[in-house]
Amino acid sequence: MNQRQRFVFAFFITLLPMITRGVDTAWANPARFQAGPTDPVELADWLNLLIEETMAQNQVPGVVFVLVRDGEVLYSEGYGLADIESGRAIDPENDVWRVMSISKPVTALAIMRLAEQGSLDLHADVNDYLQSIQLDESKGVVTADNLLTHTAGLDYDLDDIGDETRSAADMLPLAGFLQQNPPAQVRAPGQIPIYSNAAFDVLGLIVQDISGQPFEAYIDEHILSPLDMTSSSFSQPSPVADRLVTSYEFDGENHQPAPPPFFHNPPSRSLTSSAPDIANLLIALLNGGKLGGAQILQPESVRTMLGTRFSASPDTTGFGYGFDQQPIAQSKMVWKDGGGNGVLSRIVLYPEENLGYFIAQNLDDDFDLIWQVTNAFDDRYFPKAEQSADSVAISTDEIAAITGIYRVPYYGRATIAKAVRLGWDPYPQVQATDDGRLQVIYNPDAEPIRLQPVGPMHYRDEENGSDYVFVTDDDGRVTHYAVGTYAAEKVPWYDVDSRHRLVLFGFMLIFLIGALAWPVSALLRRWQGRPGVSDGRARRALILLTIVSALNLIFLVVLFTYLSFVDYDFTVSLPLHLAALLAIPFITGLLALVLAVVSIQLWRRHLFSSAVRLLFSIFSVVALLFIPWLNFWNLLGWRW
94 vs 103: CA distance, rounded Å? 19
497 vs 294: CA distance, rounded Å? 52
Instruction: Express each pLDDT in 472-518 by its tens digit.
Output: 998 999 999 999 888 999 999 999 999 999 999 999 999 999 999 88
Sign of CA dihedral 69, 286, 48, 23: positive
Strand order in the sheet with 62-69: 88-89, 72-83, 62-69, 355-361, 343-350, 332-340, 324-327
Confidence of residue 638 (pLDDT cuts 50, 70, 90): confident
Residue 201: CB partners within 8 Å, gap ≥ 6?
174, 177, 178, 183, 265, 266, 267, 268
- What is the predicted pLDDT for the residue at 268? 96
Of 154-158, 367-371, 549-553, which range is least confident? 154-158
- What is the predicted pLDDT for the residue at 465? 83
Amino acid present at 263: F
- What is the predicted pLDDT for the residue at 599? 93
Whether the pLDDT of residue 405 is over 80: the answer is yes
CB 239 within 8 A of CB 256: no
Coil, strand or helix: which one is 517? helix
How many other C-beta atoms can be found within 10 angstroms of the C-beta atom of residue 610?
Answer: 9
Confidence of residue 25 (pLDDT cuts 50, 70, 90): very low
Q: Residue 34's closest CA among 352, 387, 484? A: 352
Higher pLDDT, residue 241 or 564:
241
CB 364 within 8 A of CB 337: no
- What is the predicted pLDDT for the residue at 28? 44
- What is the predicted pLDDT for the residue at 250? 93
Confidence of residue 525 (pLDDT cuts 50, 70, 90): confident
What's 589's DSSP letter? H
Coil, strand or helix: which one is 355? strand
- What is the predicted pLDDT for the residue at 13? 44
Of 302-306, 372-376, 528-532, which range is least confident? 528-532
- What is the predicted pLDDT for the residue at 225? 98
Which long-range contacts link 571-580 to residues 24+ away (Cβ below 8 Å)?
A: 571/4, 571/161, 571/162, 571/163, 571/164, 571/261, 572/162, 572/164, 572/165, 572/166, 573/161, 573/162, 574/161, 574/162, 574/638, 574/640, 579/638
Whether the pLDDT of residue 303 is over 70: the answer is yes
- What is the predicted pLDDT for the residue at 29? 46
Confidence of residue 526 (pLDDT cuts 50, 70, 90): confident
Whether the pLDDT of residue 524 is over 80: the answer is no
Whether the pLDDT of residue 415 is over 80: the answer is yes
Of 205-214, 275-284, 433-442, which range is least confident? 433-442
DSSP one-letter string for 375-437: HHHHHHHSPPPP---PPPP--HHHHHHH-EEEE-S-S-SSSGGGGGGGG--S-SEEEE-TTS-
% residues pLDDT > 90 (the chain) = 69
138 vs 140: CA distance, rounded Å? 6
What number is the average pLDDT over the span 610-619? 91
- CA dist 148 → 183, 349, 506 (Å): 15, 18, 43
CB 398 within 8 A of CB 51: no
Confidence of residue 354 (pLDDT cuts 50, 70, 90): very high
Sign of CA dihedral 42, 47, 50, 52: negative
248 vs 90: CA distance, rounded Å? 14
Of 159-173, 189-203, 344-358, 403-417, which range is least confident? 159-173
Confidence of residue 49 (pLDDT cuts 50, 70, 90): very high
Whether the pLDDT of residue 18 is over 90: the answer is no
Confidence of residue 140 (pLDDT cuts 50, 70, 90): very high
Instruction: Express each pLDDT in 529-588 by its tens digit.
Output: 777 666 778 788 989 999 999 999 999 998 888 777 766 666 767 777 788 888 999 999
Confidence of residue 36 (pLDDT cuts 50, 70, 90): confident
The pTM for the full model equals 0.90
Cross-strand partners of 434: none
583 vs 578: CA distance, rounded Å? 9
> First CA to last CA across the chain, in angstroms?
19
Of 168-172, 284-288, 317-321, 381-385, which range is least confident? 381-385
Whether the pLDDT of residue 591 is over 80: the answer is yes
183 vs 196: CA distance, rounded Å? 9
CB 426 within 8 A of CB 497: yes
Q: Residue 346's closest CA among 13, 75, 97? A: 97
What number is the average pLDDT over the span 343-357? 96
User: Up-side HSE of residue 187: CA atoms within 13 Å toward CB?
Assistant: 21
Of 37-46, 49-58, 329-338, 501-510, which range is least confident? 329-338
What number is the average pLDDT over the span 315-328? 84
What number is the average pLDDT over the span 369-375? 95
What's 490's DSSP letter? E
CB 349 within 8 A of CB 356: yes
Backbone φ, ψ for residue 357 (5° rounding): -150, 160
Higher pLDDT, residue 142 or 14:
142
- CA dist 567 → 5, 255, 399, 639, 640 (Å): 9, 16, 43, 21, 19
- What is the predicted pLDDT for the residue at 518? 81
- What is the predicted pLDDT for the residue at 564? 73
- What is the predicted pLDDT for the residue at 24? 45
What number is the average pLDDT over the span 34-53? 92
How does the average pLDDT of the chain come out, rounded? 89
Amino acid present at 240: V
- What is the predicted pLDDT for the residue at 385? 67
Q: Where are the alpha helices (DSSP H) in 447-574?
A: 497-528, 536-565
How many other C-beta atoms can be found within 10 angstroms of the C-beta atom of residue 41?
Answer: 8
Whether the pLDDT of residue 155 is over 70: the answer is yes
Confidence of residue 337 (pLDDT cuts 50, 70, 90): very high
CA 129-323-121 angle, 5° bins: 25
What is the chain's length? 640
- What is the predicted pLDDT for the residue at 534? 60
- What is the predicted pLDDT for the residue at 106? 98
Whether the pLDDT of residue 7 is over 90: the answer is no
% residues pLDDT > 70 (the chain) = 91
- What is the predicted pLDDT for the residue at 594? 95
Confidence of residue 15 (pLDDT cuts 50, 70, 90): low
Q: Pairing mode, if any, of strands 404-407 and 486-490? A: antiparallel
How many other C-beta atoms can be found within 10 angstroms of the C-beta atom of residue 519?
Answer: 13
- What is the predicted pLDDT for the residue at 557? 93
293 vs 287: CA distance, rounded Å? 12
Q: Residue 458's closest CA among 408, 402, 404? A: 402
Residue 165: CB partners within 8 Å, gap ≥ 6?
171, 261, 262, 264, 572
